[in-house]
Amino acid sequence: MGLQRVDYDRTQHAGYAKGRRLLPSSRRNWSRAFRGLAGDRPIARVADVGSGTGRFTPVLAEEFAAEAVGVEPSARMREVACAESAHPLVTYVAGSAADLPLDDASADLALMFLVWHHVPDRPAAARELARVLAPGARLLIATTLADRLKDLLLYRYFPRTRAIDAEVFPTFAETVDVFAEAGYAHSGLVEVHHRSADSLAEYTGRQRLRALSVYEHLTDDEYRDGLAAMEADVAAETDPRPVESECDLLAFTRL
């Protein structure tokens, strides 16, 4: 299919924070899952790699009462993070997964949330993350996996997005192999229940912002048709129907 890379500086930064706002129940579920997979070591410093608009960086700081550093390559996404996700324990810095502005063994935990599929050289990123993680520290990866696709509502309205996800995302085995090669042990996989919106109307309002990178791979016609079908169902929505799914969270321990 030959999909183009998504440029967060060009498009996604504009609608991302609003389009992907974290609902309180999802925030709680993710915090609990991070805690459950973080391991037993004391955590003084967390790296949120690919922190975007800072959706999860303050969540990490609060859950672990730790300093949290959001590392993000897109200047426009960082600007939104600094303006909208400021927190006394959080800093946002420029960098990418394969080039982290952090000292050796300086992080006790790292998170990459919906970032792994954007990383062009995953083996290099796995090695760089191993450099900055302290021995025994955990790396958490929230990602879609090509061989564990969920039944997303999105796939019903925009049918080609399922095939796009199957192409864009790595499989479970590919992901485990990359980290095994770079000196990590696979330490867990959990499904986290994520509520995207409390109703189809709210969800559709968010989709109008086109703030999902998979939409970048659709034609304007495909996007418009999917949205029109959604709007028709919203018009018929009497009782609010929450939009929810399970999401995979993987844990690796730096050996």
Ligand X SMILES: C[S@@+](CC[C@H](N)C(=O)[O-])C[C@H]1O[C@@H](n2cnc3c(N)ncnc32)[C@H](O)[C@@H]1O
Contacts of 98 (CB under 8 A, 6+ apart): 119, 120, 121, 124, 125, 128
The mark string for 106-145 relative to ligand X (x by CB under 6 A, - otherwise) is -------xxx--xx--------------------------
Which one of the spans 28-36, 50-58, 186-194, 217-225 is the region binding ligand X (CB under 6 A)? Answer: 50-58
User: DSSP secondary structure string, 21-61?
Assistant: PPPHHHHHHHHHHHHHHS-SS--SEEEEET-TTTSSHHHHH
**Token digits of residue 121:** 């050289």
For the bound state, the minimum distance from the C-beta of residue 236 to ligand X, rounded and expressed in Å, comes to: 31
Which residue of 33, 38, 46, 49 would you call a contact of ligand X, by CB under 6 A? 49
Residue 104 is given by DSSP the state T
- Considering only residues 194 to 233 of the shown chain, the ones binding ligand X according to CB under 6 A are 213
| Interface pick for ligand X out of 19, 39, 52, 226 (rule CB under 6 A) | 52
Q: Which stretch binds ligand X (CB under 6 A): 43-51, 177-185, 196-204, 218-226?
A: 43-51
Q: Cβ neighbours of residue 174 under 8 Å, at least 6 residues apart?
A: none
Distance, in Å, from the CA atom of 229 to the CA atom of 159, rounded to the nearest integer, reads 12
Q: Is 76 in the site for ligand X (CB under 6 A)?
A: no
Edge-to-edge strand ranges of the sheet holding 243-254 = 90-94, 67-72, 45-49, 107-113, 133-142, 243-254, 184-197
**Which span (70-78, 129-137, 160-168, 172-180) binds ligand X, by CB under 6 A?**
70-78
Chain residues binding ligand X by CB under 6 A are 8, 20, 49-52, 55-56, 72-74, 77, 96-97, 113-115, 118-119, 213
